Each structure stands twice: as C-alpha cells, then as structure tokens.
Structure 1
C-alpha cells in the first residue's frame, strides 16, 4: 500500500514539474522581444556640409527616429583623401549597419568602394553629390541600380550659371581661377564653353586632394581682374575656409556653390540649400529603414536655387556690387 502511495506521489510530482516547466518556458517564449535598434553610419563633411547633417537629423527626429532611443548614429568624418576615408568607413561597415548616410562626393565614393571591397550590401543614401550618373555612383537618375540613391544639388549644371552671374556682377573680371578634383561634378566642360562665350580666361588645374587645393591657391600669382570659382567637389568643400582666407588676403572675389559658402565669406553664391537636401535625404532614409530598396528609389534633383551676396565681404575686398544685381538676390548678408 505504501509503495502504491509513493508511486502515485512520484507520478503527481513529475506531472506537476512538466506543467510548471511548460508554463515557465511558454511564458518566456511569449515575452515580446525588443526589435534591434537600426544603426546608421553618418559620414560628415564639415564644415561645408554640416547643414545637410543637422537638417537630416532634425527631420529624422520628426519622422520618429531619435538617437539612442530607436536609432543609433555612428558618426565619422571624411579625411583629406580617398584611401584614408575608405579605410575609416570600412572599419565601421564591419558592424553591418542598416544604412550609410554620406555627404559629398568623397564620402560617397569612399563608402561605395569600401562596401564593394568588403562585399557588404549596406544601403547608401547620399546628399550633395553632383552628377551621380557621370561619377559612376548610379546607373540612371530614375533607376539607380545597386544599393545606393540620394539627392543631387545639380552643382555641375549650375556652375556655368555662377560664372554668368559673376560676369554680370563684376564685368571687370577677366580671369577666373578654377582648380578642381572631379571634372564631372565640378561641371568643367560646361564652364569652358560659357567662359569662352563671355570672353573670360578660365585657369584650370586638376588637384588630387585638399592640401594640393590650398597650396595651389596659396602660391597662385593673383592680379587685378581675377576671381576664384569654388569647385563643387570634395576639395572645394574641404579647403573652403582656406580659400576664403586667401581670397580676403589677396582681395579677390570668391564665388561659392551655396548659401552657406556666402555666410562663411564668399562674395557671392548661387545654388540650392544644402539643408533642404539633408531633409530630403532623411525622407529617403526613412523609406529604406522601413524596407524599401535603394535601387527602386529615384535620385532626386534640386529644383530651387538661391542667389546670395555678402556685402561685408565686398567691403573687405574693395568691390562694389551694383544695385541692379542686388535686386536679383534672394538674400543679402550685410555684416557689421
């Protein structure tokens, strides 16, 4: 009898343990699992393109993506050359990010090549990249192909317009210095045509990096009637502050590519607003984080362009901007 009771108790305990284990592990399985936080690598290009990053981040917050809460930004910066920039980005790509946001030609080329070398299929959204087709980033504007898309400011197309505006603003200019790194993104071919039609001498030089750009301007024999046209490529962005300082030192008009350039000391600029481009890039990034393929998202092109004049710079270099020209400006910076 005792044996029967013990056997029954043992059976009961075994069943009870099975039930408890089932309930415990079943409950664990039913606990909602936290979704992994998406990782976005950000390749900054300061200071020229900082506004494209600031407005990107702000727009992402408006779309519900807050750093540290439901998205994690891993931030790096472009170096002075392609090789070191690729190396820096390559190390971050090994984290297998959900997205890479690049600003400028150098950052975008470095990210694309690093991803290809490592065979990492990370989506790339670029901002402020002129002529993305001619530069080999995408197959076409409507069908980018690959794993990359973004927003172009079309600076390669507006470069010739800048030259026209410079000629209209200061007819005494006879020679325009235009060192560039990337012939396509700087719009060199169109500049040659428009310079010839305006009777301007265009002094060109292909420069390998930012240091070479600064050195070229530092040693150039400027004379009265000269102007500098800032190239819309990586060296123009990276060496811009030095270009401003040298232009002021030699009292030479400097033409920028966007409003931010004029705020920082260029005499005049014509181009799109890089902050607007950053916001548009955020919209594309949000689509990709939700599952859209970059290859199916057309590259967007800027449609609004702004003429900005810095009268404080005009006073410092001793030039007078005609009132008729100022009437065309979207913004005039008076200075002190």
Structure 2
C-alpha cells in the first residue's frame, strides 16, 4: 500500500513538473506611441538594447506600434487605442504624448525617451522619485535654447533675426528658454507655425518676409519624415541657414543639428523598460537628464550657402560632414 502511494506521489510530481514546463513563457506587449514614425536608427537602437538584455522581438515580446501622422489632435485617440490593446508598458517621446497616455491610463507604466519638460506638465513632482506611472528621460530643450541660438548666430555673420518653426501645440514648451536666450545674445526671434506638410513652403516664405536670417526647427518628434525632408529642401531653396534637432537632418543635407544624443536615450529607455517589466516601479525610477550632446555640421551645405564655419565651431563638432 505504501509502495503504491509513493509511486503515485512520484508520478504526480513528475506530471506536475512536465505541466509546468509546458506552460508558455510570458510574451510582453510593449506599446510604442509617437506623433510620427521615429527615424529607423532610433528604433534600431531601442530594439538592440532590448535584445542585449534578453528581450527578443517576436520571442518574448511584441512591439505594439502606434504612429501618428504629425497631427497632434489625434494623440489622445491614438493613446487610448494603445491602452485598449492591453499593453504592459508604453514607450513614447515628448511631453504632450506622455500626457496623452497618462490621460488614457493611470496604471500602465509610461517611459519617455525624451521630453522638453522634465516635469511632464505637472505629472511629476519630484525628479528623483517621480511617483505615479511615468518616468524616463528629459531632453533639456528649454535649457539648450541658448546654445542653439548661439550656434546659428556664430554660423551666420551679422545675424539679428531668427524664425523658430514649430507646431503651435508645443510652442509653449520652448518659449521661456528662447526668450532668455534671445535677450542674452541680442537677437530677435519670431514664431512661425508649421504643422502639415503643405505648410512647409509657406512657413519658409513667411520667415523670409519677417526678415529671418536663420531658422531654428523645434519639435522634431511631431514631424513626419516627409515634413522633415520638405523642410531641408525648402531651406536650401530659400537659402535659409537652419539648425535642426535630429542628426539625421544634418546628414540628409541640413546645415547643422544640435541636441542630446537621442539614440543614446533610446538605449537607456530600453533599460528602464526591462527594469519595469522585471518588477521595478516607474515611480521609483528617477527622471534622467541627457549626458551626451551631438553637434553635427554639414560643411557641404555650409559652402553651398556661402558660409565659412569657424575653426572653433568645427573643432567642437561631434561630426563634420564633408
């Protein structure tokens, strides 16, 4: 009798172990929301960093993508759709997108790869311990306005007037820093609204009509690849020296770009995703500031515009495109 009980117990244990092994591994659903599809190199940096941590796409996670067309008014709708797809976490970029997802869910963890406002419009009270379901990385866009204006002023002799091209919905994020930068550098600047692709040419013409000698592009995450290409081409057509936020824009013919290394921040974002899916609370992970900035100068474009870039500025560049 005891022998039969022992055998039954052993068999039961074996069957339980086999059943446990047969249980499928967790497949995480990582949501990715942006106003426009990210440049491929940024997406690749994010996915590679996940892979380095053992998160392999289509094996133990799926990427649930939600790309907008640059239309900011659609963001609440896109955020709600993503949350309704039962994602385990949402990765995004930009303060407005963070707020859209936070409005759709107060429980789904949100990690932003970059945000001009580190306090996310009041969602975060403390950078070291943000609390709630939001964390990620700031871009310091407000704080680097002075450097952006300084670079374009140094590249354009006698520059006195700057036009800042941006979507109206995000203008308020940059205005305070730009007001201070313009005052300290003794230049004037004006805001020119640009949202849809068909508005690029008219925006450039408006900038010229206002006497702009240089252009600053703000809010790149909200511009589609089509818009960004049109901006570069239009700047060349109107011979307007322009500074961008994405290194891709300088590599594709834009004059110069200056901003935090967004690829580096997407890699860091992947690390936060892994930690949160491993059980860490987003509210306990500090909002981090960028540590690496890229200055990319397209010397070929500078020559086409008749600009002589100073040796000091060239020496400070992360990359010079010949």
| Correspondence list, 1:12-27, <5 A | none
> In the alignment, which residue of structure 1 is the partner of 2:289?
301
C-alpha RMSD of matched pairs (Å): 2.9
Matched, 1:74 2:61: no
Deviation sequence 1:210-249 (CA, Å, 0-9, x none): 4586365144151676111011465467743322121111
Which is worse superposed, 263-272 or 146-155?
A: 263-272
| Correspondence list, 1:177-196, <5 A | 177-180=163-166, 181=168, 182-185=170-173, 187-196=174-183
List, as ranges, runs of 4+ consecutive aligned residues in structure 1 with deviation greater than 6 Å. 18-26
Matched, 1:204 2:194: no
> In the alignment, which residue of structure 2 is the partner of 1:89?
79
Deviation sequence 1:10-41 (CA, Å, 0-9, x none): xxxxxx9x999999887654411223211111
> Displacement, 1:189?
1.4
Deviation sequence 1:19-64 (CA, Å, 0-9, x none): 9999988765441122321111112455655433221110000000
Report the number of matched residues. Answer: 313
Contact 1:172 1:225 in 2 (8 A): no
> In the alignment, which residue of structure 2 is the partner of 1:140?
126
> Displacement, 1:330?
2.0
| Correspondence list, 1:235-250, <5 A | 235=222, 239-250=227-238
Q: Residue 65 and residue 43 in structure 1: after superposition, are their counterparts in 2 closer, same or farther (change >3 A)?
A: same
| Structure 1: unaligned runs, 5 residues or longer | 1-15
Contact 1:130 1:232 in 2 (8 A): no
> In the alignment, which residue of structure 2 is the partner of 1:220?
206
| Structure 2: unaligned runs, 5 residues or longer | none
Q: CA–CA distance in 1 between the matches of 2:228 and 2:80?
A: 26
> In the alignment, which residue of structure 2 is the partner of 1:12?
none
Contact 1:175 1:225 in 2 (8 A): yes
Contact 2:91 2:111 in 1 (8 A): yes
TM-score, L = length of structure 2: 0.85
Which is worse superposed, 221-230 or 50-59?
A: 221-230
> In the alignment, which residue of structure 1 is the partner of 2:140?
154
Q: Residue 105 and residue 265 in structure 1: after superposition, are their counterparts in 2 closer, same or farther (change >3 A)?
A: farther
